[in-house]
């Protein structure tokens, strides 16, 4: 298949010959396009910052690429902070928004000098007593339902994330008692936001909270921007959101930086996951296409019931037939059930779309399988950015002893 996808001038079949399967491929031009798209929608906000939420895809070369684009970094663990620093981000370009971590981890972030959003009162009080001079941000839960499904909705009242909006009096008391400097207010209501109204409600609540603090430098409106997963799928209307921010938010936020921290929006559509069909198995009811991967490499379909379009690169004009595509690990690892795909033969190469976010970064070594290689394409040139694992990689960290 020559032109797949149409806008990339590299034959994916050739890539699999060169790098093997399974293989993650990212289109850096698409990443750049998405980054510039957000910039375009919010261009009139003078003090505007995009922080790439790197848990979506933590490969250091991708972080480097975001740095070149002018992005900052949103991190959720001290390890992500360290990778960000290694990629050349300055501490103040990195924001650390952890949940449920220990005080000692936060102290490491303070030592590293990065921006920190705290999301519970207990830690806030402890940090306030020990480091009142280290300015921090506060993660607020606006108590709204955002996010495409329960697992990725994190802004509701029973959420473990953030400090509830209703606890504002407690929050203020701790800030007063400890003298800690609050320089940022943050929210992140969940992934896959479809209802803009809900997001805006959250933004208003955040503004309301912000008015209680007079040394604010930034308001971080989080993310959750949705991308389409199939032809008629919805996406977050950023154009509208931009208009709203122009009319209502940016005026109120004079001299305060407005921050967004998208992950999925920036990298999801740039990614392709390429696998090979090992076996076609007919049962009385189903035709299975068994591929050389599983939820060890690509867990979103099983974990979130997410839909990812699958194309047969080896037989693009083959007759459409129904397939249940499954993996090769000993576990239910069904990628899709009875989906129409161009006729699949053993040895064919299949490609999953939208595999740039929360795909490789959620992979594991389950069944002692190697994690795949990652390749990035920029201006029609391909670059290996992670080599396939080997047996040495698996054994390296194990300690072999003779027990008893
Ligand atoms: C995961 C995460 C994001 C990114 O969410 P997307 O849905 O990928 O845009 C942003 N902020 C925080 C704090 C996160 O944990």
76 lines ligand 1 (CB under 6 A): yes
Whether 347 is covered by a domain: the verdict is: yes
155 lines ligand 1 (CB under 6 A): no
pLDDT at 191: 63
Distance 185 CA to ligand 1 centre (A): 15
pLDDT in tens, 254-290: 789 999 999 999 999 999 999 999 999 999 999 999 9
Number of H helices, E strands in the chain: 12, 18
- 144 close to 155: Cβ distance less than 8 angstroms: yes
C-alpha to C-alpha distance for 156 and 154, rounded to whole angstroms: 6
- 310 close to 351: Cβ distance less than 8 angstroms: yes
Whether 187 is covered by a domain: the verdict is: yes
Q: Do 254 and 284 belong to one domain?
A: no
pLDDT at 363: 98
Residue 204, H or E segment: helix 196-210
Q: Do 243 and 162 belong to one domain?
A: yes
**Domain harbouring 307, CATH code:** 2.40.37.10
pTM of the model: 0.94
Region 187-196: what's the mean pLDDT? 78
- The end-to-end CA distance of the chain, in Å, is 58
Which atom of ligand 1 is closest in space to residue 225's alpha carbon?
A: 9
Q: Would you say residue 148 has pLDDT above 70?
A: no
Q: Would you say residue 1 has pLDDT above 60?
A: no
% of the chain with per-residue pLDDT over 90: 76
Q: Do 228 and 278 belong to one domain?
A: no
Region 288-308: what's the mean pLDDT? 96
Question: Which of 53, 80, 186 to probe ligand 1 with, by most ligand atoms within 8 A of CB?
Answer: 53
Q: Do 104 and 243 belong to one domain?
A: yes
Question: Which of 62, 72, 117, 188 to probe ligand 1 with, by most ligand atoms within 8 A of CB?
Answer: 188
pLDDT at 198: 82
DSSP 22-60: SEEEEEHHHHHHHHHHHHHHTTT-SSEEEEEEGGG---H
**Domain harbouring 222, CATH code:** 3.20.20.10
Q: Would you say residue 53 has pLDDT above 70?
A: yes
Task: Pick the catalytic residue from 253, 330, 336, 359.
Answer: 330
| Phi and psi based region of residue 399 (left: phi greater than 0; alpha: psi -120 to 50; beta: remaining) | beta
Q: Do 242 and 306 belong to one domain?
A: no
* Domain around 295: 268-395
Whether 67 is covered by a domain: the verdict is: no
Q: Do 133 and 181 belong to one domain?
A: yes
Question: Residue 207: is it exposed, middle or buried by C-beta count within 10 angstroms (0-12/13-18/19+)?
Answer: middle
Residue 174, H or E segment: helix 168-178
Distance 117 CA to ligand 1 centre (A): 13
pLDDT in tens, 306-347: 999 999 999 999 999 999 999 999 888 999 999 999 999 999
Whether 35 is covered by a domain: the verdict is: no
In 3D space, the residue among 62, 113, 120, 64 whose CA is nearest the CA of residue 91 turns out to be 113
Q: Would you say residue 147 has pLDDT above 60?
A: no
- Per the prediction, the chain carries an average pLDDT of 92
Q: Would you say residue 188 has pLDDT above 90?
A: no
Question: What 3-state class would DSSP assign to 292?
Answer: coil
Q: Would you say residue 43 has pLDDT above 80?
A: yes
Q: Would you say residue 5 has pLDDT above 70?
A: yes
80 lines ligand 1 (CB under 6 A): no
Q: Do 255 and 274 belong to one domain?
A: no
Distance 18 CA to ligand 1 centre (A): 34
- 277 close to 311: Cβ distance less than 8 angstroms: no
Which atom of ligand 1 is closest in space to residue 97's alpha carbon?
A: 13
Question: Residue 154: is it exposed, middle or buried by C-beta count within 10 angstroms (0-12/13-18/19+)?
Answer: buried
Whether 71 is covered by a domain: the verdict is: no
The residue among 241, 262, 283 that closes a domain is 262
Which atom of ligand 1 is closest in space to residue 191's alpha carbon?
A: 7
Whether 33 is covered by a domain: the verdict is: no
pLDDT at 79: 98
- What is the tally of structural domains in the chain? 2
Q: Do 224 and 292 belong to one domain?
A: no
pLDDT band for 155, please (50, 70, 90 cuts): low
Evaluated on CA atoms 28, 29, 31, 35, the torsion sign reads positive
Three state DSSP letters for 306-337: CCCCEEECCCCCCCEEEEEEECCCCCCCEEEE
Q: Would you say residue 88 has pLDDT above 90?
A: yes
Question: Which of 52, 74, 359 to probe ligand 1 with, by most ligand atoms within 8 A of CB?
Answer: 74
139 lines ligand 1 (CB under 6 A): no
Which pairs count as long-range contacts for 28-33, CB under 8 Å and 24+ apart, including other chains? 28/65, 28/270, 28/376, 28/377, 28/378, 29/377, 29/378, 29/379, 30/269, 30/270, 31/62, 31/65, 31/66, 31/69, 31/266, 31/267, 31/270, 31/356, 32/65, 32/69
Whether 6 is covered by a domain: the verdict is: no
pLDDT at 153: 56
Whether 330 is catalytic: yes
Whether 123 is covered by a domain: the verdict is: yes
Q: Do 253 and 282 belong to one domain?
A: no
The residue among 236, 262, 288 that closes a domain is 262
The residue among 245, 262, 279 that closes a domain is 262
pLDDT at 156: 61
pLDDT at 248: 82
C-alpha to C-alpha distance for 355 and 335, rounded to whole angstroms: 13
Evaluated on CA atoms 324, 370, 364, 190, the torsion sign reads negative
DSSP 85-108: HHTT--GGGEEE--SS--HHHHHH
Q: Do 243 and 282 belong to one domain?
A: no
Residue 245: CB atoms within 10 A of its CB come to 23
Q: Do 101 and 204 belong to one domain?
A: yes
184 lines ligand 1 (CB under 6 A): no
pLDDT at 154: 57
Q: Do 251 and 310 belong to one domain?
A: no
């Amino acid at each position: 298949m020559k032109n797949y996808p149409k806008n990339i001038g590299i034959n994916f079949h050739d890539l699999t010959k060169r790098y093997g399967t399974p293989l993650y491929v990212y289109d850096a031009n698409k990443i750049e396009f998405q980054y510039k798209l957000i910039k375009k929608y919010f261009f009139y906000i003078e003090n505007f910052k995009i922080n790439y939420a790197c848990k979506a895809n933590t490969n250091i070369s991708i972080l480097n690429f975001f740095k070149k684009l002018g992005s900052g970094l949103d991190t959720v663990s001290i390890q992500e902070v360290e990778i960000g620093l290694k990629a050349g981000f300055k501490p103040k370009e990195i924001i650390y928004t952890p949940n449920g971590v220990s005080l000692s981890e936060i102290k490491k972030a303070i030592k590293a000098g990065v921006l920190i959003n705290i999301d519970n009162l207990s830690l806030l009080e402890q940090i306030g007593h020990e480091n009142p001079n280290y300015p921090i941000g506060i993660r607020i839960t606006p108590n709204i339902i955002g996010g495409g499904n329960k697992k990725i909705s994190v802004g509701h009242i029973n959420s473990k994330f953030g400090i509830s909006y209703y606890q504002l009096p407690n929050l203020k008391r701790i800030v007063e008692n400890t003298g800690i400097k609050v320089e940022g207010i943050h929210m992140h209501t969940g992934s896959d936001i479809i209802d803009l109204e809900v997001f805006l409600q959250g933004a208003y609540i955040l503004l309301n909270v912000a008015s209680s603090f007079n040394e604010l430098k930034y308001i971080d409106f989080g993310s959750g921007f949705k991308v389409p997963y199939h032809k008629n799928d919805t996406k977050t209307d950023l154009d509208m959101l931009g208009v709203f921010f122009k009319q209502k938010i940016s005026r109120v936020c004079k001299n305060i930086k407005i921050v967004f921290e998208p992950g999925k929006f920036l990298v999801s559509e740039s990614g392709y996951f390429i696998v090979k069909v090992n076996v076609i198995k007919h049962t009385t009811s189903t035709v299975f296409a068994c591929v050389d991967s599983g939820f060890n490499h690509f867990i979103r379909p099983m974990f979130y019931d997410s839909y990812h379009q699958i194309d047969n690169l080896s037989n693009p004009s083959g007759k459409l037939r129904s397939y249940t595509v499954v993996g090769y690990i000993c576990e239910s690892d069904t990628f899709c059930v009875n989906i129409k795909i161009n006729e699949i033969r053993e040895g064919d190469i299949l490609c999953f779309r939208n595999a740039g976010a929360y795909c490789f970064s959620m992979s594991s070594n389950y069944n002692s399988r190697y994690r795949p290689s990652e390749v990035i394409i920029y201006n029609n040139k391909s670059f290996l950015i992670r080599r396939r694992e080997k047996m040495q990689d698996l054994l390296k960290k194990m300690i072999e002893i003779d027990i008893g």
